[in-house]
Chains A and B, each alone.
Chain A
């Protein structure tokens, strides 16, 4: 049997047979799904239970807040003479007090909110939105616009639709964004997790000194290649299992947590059945719209590219991590330091990918999707938005060139590093080994 195959087999089997592999394979999707379920459960069930006291000193906002937009309870009240803010909060058993100061020259200067534990962003934006719209209504009224005109102005909403000229299909930035974030994060995780797994494997062989035994049987490059391919297979296995697991969890989970579907209906502020129906329709319409536009993404390109960038990125980084692992002496802290030049581009590519999602055609995004150390993550984040074919081809060419260059370099370093203990590498030695091969 080919020696590389023997090594691949060992690397694969020892990892797949480990308990940790089972644990991560089964727990991570459960954890992620559970986390999402929990967040949506609590978001649906317990948002906006606050009691808000409006201390309206301007006397303009009394009972004018639109309560259909929040589930919090609104109370209009004012503190007693000489009562402190804290006492007032306690007396009204309120979570938040909103103090609107009197108008000065018909102008509203400022509004203050205070609470025991800080104010949530949803609540703050609700209050801000209410006050802004009521205040602008007042200003318009003062300017002589009549109330029905103001209502029609406020109700005005122009539908905005965007199309791609390429295939005349409707584009949906949100769907592309969700897809881009998902694939970008997945690529980032894969590179970091499995890359460092390669590094640890190399370190294990070096520090347990078995490398010395194995190198007396096979070429160092065979050992490195076998390790990288073996761990790559583990990675593919794990991703495949995740895909199956997440797929099945999506169907199983709602059976156990029915609130996921009905949560929105149990909201106390929405007892009105008509409104409930309306909300549900709106929600499902939005959801199915998103699903529809998700399914309109260029999945063929996305999947093909994912496979190419997965292999290109994984092999490049695995080789670099192997080289780093071979340089480490016993100290694991040394490993972290040495790995920095390799983990940095991964982190950079993640950061660029997050920018790319907001602006897929910026100079940074285009550069990031070309440079071979960042392109696997950045290009995958860009592709759902549609990328010109020539850019993809160019990026893949760079990826392959980069892969060849970095693997070649890493193999040279690895060959020397794996057998050197406690000694600094001299370039003379490196050259000797390069010549010797």
Chain B
């Protein structure tokens, strides 16, 4: 669906995007991760045709990307939300839909559908500046997807949204992906990605730090740490206990230890188990370790 090959983008003072390549398949939710200023937005601007790469190629459905042709298939929600503050939201949504080339009648039908879905019908004549930030966010989301894009690019879609509305939008994103929409989800809040993305790329200072299938990455970076919750205290355990709070044990296994050994130890001692699970490192932890590792390596050099 979308393929980036060795993209480079330089600004006057720094390299914003430094040789990034990636492939995204149709119907996938792809996470673009990195701290503030890592080059995420610069990368997205090239994918939306807003800026041109200094070098490298973008392929859209196998064709060389041409913004004038492919823009109608892309829905882009920029990080800095953009709406006319003094325009009524109904008119504004219709206007933006018309600009994407939707006929007025069809646009009205779709707007009505979405406004009903998001319980926004009564806002029709309100101005954007009178809406709360969360409401504006929802409106922005609607304007982004109204033309049913093949590729949906969301830059920090949940910033400013309360958990309830976040969940509504998350559900929509999942539904669209199931219906074949490819989604790029960019954020610096790494925990948000873990719930919805299958593939990710982690960028720092314009470079790809880590990229691939989220599950595989976690598998690769896991540290044999388990969480064990029991009804009563465990008198004796043949493993390193990192932490214990209210009979919740964080256990680190040695290299040759098996999770089942721990369980059988507990069973033998007659301890009733409430919960036992492997703790995967969060992306945040992986990122910090990865970046610190490379920083340390750079330092040693």
* B-binding residues in A (CB < 8 A): 1, 3, 6-7, 10, 14, 204-205, 208-219, 419, 423-424, 426, 432-433, 436
Partner of B12, one of A14, A213, A426: A426
The docked-state distance in angstroms from the alpha carbon of A426 to that of B51 is: 13
Q: Are B50 and A210 in contact (CB under 8 A)?
A: no
The docked-state distance in angstroms from the alpha carbon of A215 to that of B67 is: 10
The docked-state distance in angstroms from the alpha carbon of A208 to that of B72 is: 22
Q: Are A214 and B99 in contact (CB under 8 A)?
A: yes
A216-B49, A216-B76 known; A6-B85 Cβ under 8 A: no
One digit per residue, 1 when the CB lies within 8 angstroms of any chain A CB and 0 when it does not, for chain B 62-92 equals: 0000001001101010101111111100000
B205 near A: Cβ within 8 Å? no
The total number of A-B Cβ pairs within 8 Å is: 67
Q: Please give, as numbers and ranges, the residues of chain A lying within 8 Å of B299 by CB-CB distance.
A: none
A217-B71, A423-B11, A426-B12 known; A210-B83 Cβ under 8 A: yes
CB pairs A–B below 8 angstroms (23 shown): A1-B98, A1-B104, A3-B99, A6-B95, A10-B95, A14-B86, A204-B84, A209-B78, A209-B80, A211-B82, A212-B78, A212-B82, A213-B76, A213-B82, A213-B83, A213-B96, A213-B144, A214-B82, A215-B50, A216-B50, A217-B71, A419-B45, A432-B52
B186 near A: Cβ within 8 Å? no
B208 near A: Cβ within 8 Å? no
Residues of B127-145 at the interface with A, using a CB-CB cut-off of 8 Å, are 143-144
Q: Please give, as numbers and ranges, the residues of chain A lying within 8 Å of B95 by CB-CB distance.
A: 6, 10
Q: Are A217 and B96 in contact (CB under 8 A)?
A: yes
- Interface size range on B against A: 20 to 34
Q: Are A14 and B98 in contact (CB under 8 A)?
A: no
Chain B's closest residue to A204 (CB) is: B84
Q: Please give, as numbers and ranges, the residues of chain A lying within 8 Å of B87 by CB-CB distance.
A: 14
5 A-B pairs closest in CB distance: A209-B82, A210-B82, A217-B99, A209-B80, A213-B82
The docked-state distance in angstroms from the alpha carbon of A314 to that of B228 is: 75
Q: Please give, as numbers and ranges, the residues of chain B lying within 8 Å of A209 by CB-CB distance.
A: 78, 80-82
Q: Are B96 and A212 in contact (CB under 8 A)?
A: no
A208-B84, A209-B80, A432-B52 known; A216-B74 Cβ under 8 A: yes
The docked-state distance in angstroms from the alpha carbon of A423 to that of B49 is: 18
Apart from A14-B87, A212-B78, A426-B12, list 7 A-B contacts with CB within 8 A: A1-B98, A7-B99, A204-B84, A212-B76, A213-B143, A214-B82, A432-B52
Secondary structure at chain B's binding surface: helix, strand, loop or mixed? loop
The docked-state distance in angstroms from the alpha carbon of A353 to that of B261 is: 97
A204-B84, A213-B76, A213-B82 known; A218-B52 Cβ under 8 A: no
B100 near A: Cβ within 8 Å? yes
Q: Are A6 and B99 in contact (CB under 8 A)?
A: yes
Q: Are A419 and B84 in contact (CB under 8 A)?
A: no
The docked-state distance in angstroms from the alpha carbon of A40 to that of B66 is: 65
Q: Are A216 and B71 in contact (CB under 8 A)?
A: yes
The docked-state distance in angstroms from the alpha carbon of A278 to that of B224 is: 114
Q: Please give, as numbers and ranges, the residues of chain B lying within 8 Å of A426 by CB-CB distance.
A: 12
The docked-state distance in angstroms from the alpha carbon of A218 to that of B98 is: 11
Q: Are A210 and B84 in contact (CB under 8 A)?
A: yes
Q: Please give, as numbers and ranges, the residues of chain B lying within 8 Å of A205 by CB-CB distance.
A: 84
Chain A's closest residue to B79 (CB) is: A209
B182 near A: Cβ within 8 Å? no
The docked-state distance in angstroms from the alpha carbon of A205 to that of B96 is: 13
The docked-state distance in angstroms from the alpha carbon of A432 to that of B51 is: 10
The docked-state distance in angstroms from the alpha carbon of A215 to that of B39 is: 20
The docked-state distance in angstroms from the alpha carbon of A14 to that of B101 is: 21
B48 near A: Cβ within 8 Å? yes
B132 to chain A, nearest CB (A): 17
Chain A's closest residue to B155 (CB) is: A212
Partner of A6, one of B49, B76, B86, B98: B98
A63 to chain B, nearest CB (A): 71
Chain B's closest residue to A423 (CB) is: B11
Q: Please give, as numbers and ranges, the residues of chain B lying within 8 Å of A204 by CB-CB distance.
A: 84
Of A14, A424, A426, chain B has the most CB atoms within 10 Å of the CB of A14
Q: Please give, as numbers and ranges, the residues of chain B lying within 8 Å of A419 by CB-CB distance.
A: 45, 50-51
Q: Please give, as numbers and ranges, the residues of chain B lying within 8 Å of A6 by CB-CB distance.
A: 95, 98-99
Q: Are B12 and A424 in contact (CB under 8 A)?
A: yes
A225 to chain B, nearest CB (A): 14
B225 to chain A, nearest CB (A): 43
Chain A's closest residue to B99 (CB) is: A217
A385 to chain B, nearest CB (A): 45
Q: Please give, as numbers and ranges, the residues of chain A lying within 8 Å of B82 by CB-CB distance.
A: 208-214
The docked-state distance in angstroms from the alpha carbon of A209 to that of B82 is: 4
Residues of B4-57 at the interface with A, using a CB-CB cut-off of 8 Å, are 11-12, 45, 48-52
The docked-state distance in angstroms from the alpha carbon of A433 to that of B49 is: 11
Chain B's closest residue to A416 (CB) is: B51
Q: Please give, as numbers and ranges, the residues of chain A lying within 8 Å of B101 by CB-CB distance.
A: 3, 217
A213-B78, A216-B74, A423-B12 known; A433-B52 Cβ under 8 A: yes
B165 to chain A, nearest CB (A): 20
Q: Please give, as numbers and ranges, the residues of chain A lying within 8 Å of B76 by CB-CB distance.
A: 212-213, 216
The docked-state distance in angstroms from the alpha carbon of A398 to that of B123 is: 51
Partner of B68, one of A1, A208, A219, A423: A219
The docked-state distance in angstroms from the alpha carbon of A436 to that of B104 is: 32
